[in-house]
């Protein structure tokens, strides 16, 4: 699916029943938003992306799209820092013929929930950040502990709760962490890039 993702501005997905869905490629839009911002400053402060997913899909697509511009921008490694508390695949091939073999090859680089060796480093990074954006994050307690999520910093958190469907998430954010309701965005990823809190980075 990666090649179809990186082919253009649209993402084509096919579910198990064979139904196709076409949506705008928000990663490409995201790159288009961040690149100009990186050129407006003398010294680039990298955006730290902490992902609890193993697949590196977001990083792979950012690296794919970043150089596709007529203007020269700072390199992707100057502008981003990708961090995987539970580890990640060493690479994401275009196709995987033998899934079991691929996963067996990769498992040495992975750890399980709550066993990250990067906990202190990630928590320090989060505590020193001026703004923290949570996207597709369920606020499971073990992952919150790794990030050092704390009520005293709740006012600095901006959180996606797609369509407001996760009522438990609302309770965690508002009751336990004191995240202002104006900082909770119900948009899709495309919406966050076009009209949502990613505007804060532009």
Predicted local distance difference test score (pLDDT) of residue 1: 36
Mean pLDDT of the chain: 80
Tens digits of residue pLDDT in 99-149: 778 777 777 666 665 555 667 788 888 888 888 999 989 898 888 988 999
User: 87: Cβ–Cβ under 8 A, 6 or more apart, which residues?
Assistant: 54, 109, 110, 111
Residue 11 has pLDDT above 90, yes or no: no
* Separation of alpha carbons 131 and 153, rounded Å: 10
Q: What angle do CA 34, 127, 42 make, to 5 degrees?
A: 35
Tens digits of residue pLDDT in 135-166: 989 898 888 988 999 999 999 999 999 888 88
């Amino acid at each position: 699916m990666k090649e179809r993702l990186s082919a253009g501005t649209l993402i084509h997905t096919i579910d198990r029943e064979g139904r196709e869905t076409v949506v705008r490629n928000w990663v490409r839009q995201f790159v288009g938003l961040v690149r100009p911002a990186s050129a407006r400053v003398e010294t680039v402060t990298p955006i730290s992306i902490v992902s609890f997913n193993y697949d590196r899909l977001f990083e792979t697509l950012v690296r794919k799209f970043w150089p596709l511009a007529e203007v020269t921008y700072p390199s992707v490694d100057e502008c981003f820092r990708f961090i995987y508390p539970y580890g990640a695949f060493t690479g994401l091939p275009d196709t995987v013929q033998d899934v079991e073999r691929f996963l067996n090859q990769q498992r040495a680089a992975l750890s399980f929930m709550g066993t990250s060796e990067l906990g202190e480093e990630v928590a320090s990074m989060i505590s020193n950040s001026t703004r923290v954006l949570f996207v597709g994050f369920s606020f499971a307690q073990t992952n919150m502990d790794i990030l050092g999520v704390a009520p005293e910093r709740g006012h600095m958190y901006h959180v996606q709760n797609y369509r407001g469907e996760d009522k438990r998430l609302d309770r965690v954010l508002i009751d336990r962490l004191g995240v202002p309701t104006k900082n909770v965005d119900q948009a899709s990823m495309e919406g966050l890039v076009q009209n949502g809190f990613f505007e804060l980075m532009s």
